[in-house]
Structure 1
Amino acid sequence: MNSSRRTFLKSAGLASASLLASLNGFSAKKAPVILLRSSWQTVNIGDIGHTPGVLTLLEKYLPTASVRLWPSDVGDGVDELIRQRFPKLTIAKAPEEVKQAFAECDFLLHGSGASLVAGKDVDRWRKETGKPYGIYGITFSVTRDGDDSKALSKASALDIDILSNARFVFFRDTVSLGVAKQNGVTCPVMEFGPDGAFAVDLHNDPLAKDFLKEHSLEDGKFLCVIPRQRYTPYWEIPAKKRAFDPQRNARNEEMREHDIAPLREAITAVVRQTPMKILIVPEDETQVKLGKTMLYDPLPEDVKAKVVLRDRYWLTDEAISTYVRSAGLFGLEMHSPIMCIGNGVPAIVCRFSEQTSKGIMWRDIGLGDWLFDMDNEKDVAGIVPAVLAMAKDPKAAKLKIKKAQQFVRERQRETMEILKKNLNA
């Protein structure tokens, strides 16, 4: 065979292989590998929810990407929960596994959280690898002086530098976005981006159904309610090994009745004026006791007859399977409402200054009239009427959240498109 014929056959073979690859939807470029830094703790179903939410978005919008999870805590059954939903996921826990992930991954994605939670780890990533990174759905640490528009940053110079050098930063509330700009963050893409927990689709229907049946709660005929204190008393959770904080405890004691009494009033109004029942649930471990002492125990006997107290903590999958069978949720927490809206369930948010600006996301997604500031007595007075309206007209409540849900989903798509462009680049 002469050389010209060999050259022709080689060229033809390469062309055929290229055409075949194209026809089969393959690319010569390696599929991207993403390192997700997330999973902050397991004592709160919202902190659990951040991770499966972002993983669900990656699965939906970047199906060819491979993902490694670098968690802080996936104990207490959360590891199994995540692996069951995402069987192909690699979880890097040990130092050698993290080191391997640094070598294999092309991009680090810092997941949703109350702040730049793992800023030091992002800094380590950029110094050791020189590879790109992005921040997805955080609140930028702020304090308030009574006016959210005048929020002040507490962020360190390191945080500002990390944010400025990210490929993108998505803030889960627009107050945080404004604070970042005020503090000189210069990231080329800074936008509102929904908390990752909006996308959680975990379910545990058997557990939820059994509990509801045991307590005679029928689908669509009960509301869920969650209490909260100004500061989570982590010192009450043995696994957290936190020292007692007298200052925070004093603030909790000072505001506990003020903050939780309107929820009791709403429970009483719903029970006495509608056919709805009430289910008291926790978002973190400390709220099981709080629900009993501050919501259930003080209720009048006629009201108690239609109120169920969940007397143990649960995981995110059972919680969502319960929420989707309810007519809605109200209370002083943030992430159960987030997961409700993501799953088509109405949710009313009550917030206070100690929670930073994250609650403002309700205004950002178009549910501002379901956002109540506990530091504003005019707002506090509106809680009972809003909850009662939700209970009296569940269909209208569901219609009310449709636009917000659509807005969140569109932003999820747009933010994932920005991540995809950075991976391709």
Structure 2
Amino acid sequence: MTDHPYGFDTLQVHAGSRPDPTTGARQTPIYQTTAFVFRDAEHAARLFNLQEVGYIYSRLTNPTVSVLQERIATLEGGVGAVCCSSGHAAQIMALFPLMRPGDNILASNRLYGGTVQQFSNTIQRFGWSAEFVDIDDLTAIEDLADDNTKAIFCESIANPGGHVTDIPAVAKVAQTLGVPLIVDNTSATPWLCRPFEMGADLVVHSTTKYLSGNGTVTGGAVVDSGRFDWSAGGKYPSLSEPEPAYHGLKFHETFGPMAFTFFGIAIGLRDLGMTMAPQTAFQTLLGIETLSLRMERHVANARKVAEWLERDERVESVTYAGLPSSPYHERAQRLYPRGAGALFTFALKAGYDACVKLVDSVELFSHVANLGDTRSLIIHSASTTHRQLTPEQQEKAGAVPNMVRLSIGIEDAEDLIRDLDQALASATA
């Protein structure tokens, strides 16, 4: 693409994509190959020494995946991206260049249950740790930070509770502490939220969700703003100090704004192997072509369904930030003027058992552990996605026992409301 400031709708179709130079194919081909032939021995040596950009082995780089990486980076306004096998893989890939044994991150206590589990337990196997904090309490964030704090992690729109993070405010705290702010932008997508424009340094995605949008493939992405100074203060030696595996090459000194992205591929994918398959990249590229169109309908439908639920006497509360009653309504309007997403929860006055019966009574909604599909989805978080958390953690994450999570799709909103109405009637009879 040229330097002309193309609009989002154009970029979601064209960014990173060019006609195939050999066949002229207009759609990005699926390069279903393990390895790539080198021109000669010198070419191979230059690729392995990171002296030339190209394709070696599909665990590292693949032309189909490269197009997706460029497209996501462009839509987010970043300098580069690394795609990997899942959203959870993307979180590890984001932390891997930053962390060493004994280091910690500060994480929002409103994160998705699987992320809380990953940060509470799994990352300890690497010698890392996470301190969970109310992401709205800026003073608490500063007070928790220490010399071993290497990042702040939050979600733009939290799953499942719909909490909206004040990214500009948290970014200022991160800048004061000299650490990068990592924002999971899965629920909002770059069509609703552009974290880099608000001061964030890294963005992660579960591309499984809205970016692909069709519930067919799992994937993840880490996007770099290219603005963070990885050499300042010696806090990030993996990026600023000599790398033994590349004969003392210093990633930040050599690659500048692209240091994090190059490290993610040359070290992260090489050694962790959490690679995205070319078929997955192809499916995700197809989904991204209609992202803005889908998100517009997702948001419009979510607003209609949330307004209807809020008026229903069987419903105790609705967490959708697009409602004037939400404590995050003003923040959502200020930061995400196109809408507050399509993921939210609602509480039933009848309690836990009624929630379970509601989920069993829907006909149009699909009872699955996913979100961001074109189809509307429903799940009872306390007994499924957040089951492994303590009651206190469930409450902070917005997954209390009488809450049901909805991911609103692009169907006819009136049909969705009718389905919820009949399911509520069965659940509260």
With normalisation by structure 1, the TM-score equals 0.26
Q: TM-score, normalised by structure 2?
A: 0.26
Which structure has more helix as a fraction of its residues? 1
Structure with larger Rg: 1
